[in-house]
């Protein structure tokens, strides 16, 4: 019975200059030539792209944390003053609705990204 985790070697022939270009490409993206070929054939995301996506997600999360902190500060000020003008309250509500919409859009994008990462 054959072991499914057993690896085998596949040899391909390409021109020397093309191999240099591929190696340079891999070096710039910090992936191995094997990863490049397998991911390309299997239509999977490259490891360097995966790292960029995860960095983007982290950055987005940090932006929303800052926004949420600002919202909490505004709420604290409103609680201390015991008064918020109707105009300020309307403006604040509009901003909250906009943030909610952006957060929902972000979550949809993240779900698509996670599905891509899972391939």
Domain contains 6: no
Domain check: are 63 and 40 in the same one?
no
Domain check: are 109 and 78 in the same one?
yes
Q: Report the number of distinct structural domains present in the chain.
A: 2
pTM surpassing 0.85? no
- The tokens for 18 are 């093309």
The pLDDT value recorded for residue 18 is 92
Q: How far is CA 25 from CA 35, 37, 57, 75, 115, in A?
A: 12, 12, 25, 51, 26
% pLDDT > 90, the chain: 8
Domain contains 31: yes
Judge whether residue 4 has pLDDT over 80. no
- Which tens digits make up the pLDDT trace of 13-66? 999 999 999 999 889 888 888 888 887 777 676 767 777 777 877 887 788 787
More confident residue, 115 or 3: 115
Mean pLDDT, rounded, of the chain: 80
Q: Which of 62, 21, 27 is nearest to 48 (CA)?
A: 27
Does residue 34 contact residue 17 with C-beta atoms inside 8 Å?
A: no
Q: How far is CA 43 from CA 3, 40, 114, in A?
A: 25, 5, 15
Domain check: are 55 and 110 in the same one?
yes
Q: Which domain holds residue 17?
A: 12-44
Q: How many whole angstroms separate alpha carbon 69 and alpha carbon 77? A: 12
């Amino acid at each position: 019975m054959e072991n499914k985790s057993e690896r085998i070697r596949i040899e391909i022939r390409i021109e020397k200059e093309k191999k240099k270009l591929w190696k340079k490409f891999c070096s710039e993206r910090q992936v191995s030539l094997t990863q490049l070929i397998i991911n390309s054939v299997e239509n999977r995301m490259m490891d360097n792209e995966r790292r960029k996506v995860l960095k983007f997600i982290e950055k987005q999360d940090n932006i929303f944390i800052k926004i949420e902190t600002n919202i909490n500060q505004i709420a604290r000020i409103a609680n201390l003053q015991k008064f918020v003008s109707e105009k300020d309250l309307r403006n604040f509500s509009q901003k909250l609705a906009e943030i909610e919409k952006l957060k929902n859009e972000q979550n949809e994008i993240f779900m698509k990204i996670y599905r891509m990462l899972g391939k």
